A = this chain, B = another copy of it.
């Protein structure tokens, strides 16, 4: 099973090699039409029905080429991600990991349907060309001295953090710009009841402005350094207060 990037969603091939009616609509045509529609009317107007109409076929016909709406969006996104070329990455394993994770992040962060797709079952497995990103991160962790199991976990944690960052930030990015007033734009903290939070109140309204900053690289570095340190120290640190400051 080398991925699911074959042509259609046909039922399992017939045992005796029967061929059947040839499709009049190819997957490439579908993706082209989808991009055409998006370019013309915007993302939010893309729907299965409109896409079928754009292609001049019946609505349900589309379901023979695409399992789901989620499947369609997955195709669009992974095809886009697959265009990110594999760069030459010299330097320490840690820095290769960070650079690669940043490439994943940037390739996916701009997608409006991130929330509908990034958490999809087997998302990573559906990457085609861009599986090199996964491989590079795992390889970097191994090069740094992680065990294979640790390396896989390193990728997993990076993926969690990346998905969370993309989804939380993407959500507010797609809100209408004037929602809630210009000073209340922090997607996390808007509407906080300050009377309950003496520590936050002590720092004034400053947190409101923090959301505008791109904090992904900073958090990523912290996470990667923490993961690598954890792996180097033999086993994960326990939550024991006496152990601090090694």
Contacts and interface: CB of A to CB of B under 8 A. Distances in A.
Interface of A: 1-4, 91-92, 94-95, 98-99, 115, 118-126, 128, 131-132, 134-135, 138-139, 142, 148-149, 151-153, 156-157, 159-165, 167-168, 170-172, 175, 179-180, 186-200, 202-203, 206-207, 210-211, 215, 217-219, 221-227, 229-230, 236-237, 239-241, 244
Given A121-B179, A162-B164, A2 B226 contact: no
A224 B225 contact: no
A84 to B, nearest CB: 15
A41 to B, nearest CB: 24
A237 B225 contact: yes
A200 B239 contact: no
Given A135-B199, A161-B161, 15 more contacts: A2-B194, A3-B192, A99-B239, A118-B167, A122-B189, A122-B190, A123-B188, A131-B197, A135-B196, A152-B200, A157-B161, A160-B168, A162-B164, A164-B167, A222-B229
> Can you tell how many copies of this chain the complex includes?
2
Contact of A222 (B142, B157, B197, B239): B157
B187 A122 contact: yes
A61 B139 CA distance: 56
Contacts of A135: 196-200
Contacts of A2: 193-195
A132 B196 contact: yes
Contact of A224 (B121, B186, B202, B226): B226
**What's the dominant secondary structure at chain A's contact region?**
helix
A92 to B, nearest CB: 4
Contact of A226 (B124, B200, B225): B225
Contact of A191 (B1, B138, B198, B239): B1
B119 A180 contact: no
B153 A196 contact: no
B230 A221 contact: yes
Contacts of A156: 188, 210-211, 215, 219
Contacts of A230: 218, 221-222, 225
A230 B219 CA distance: 9
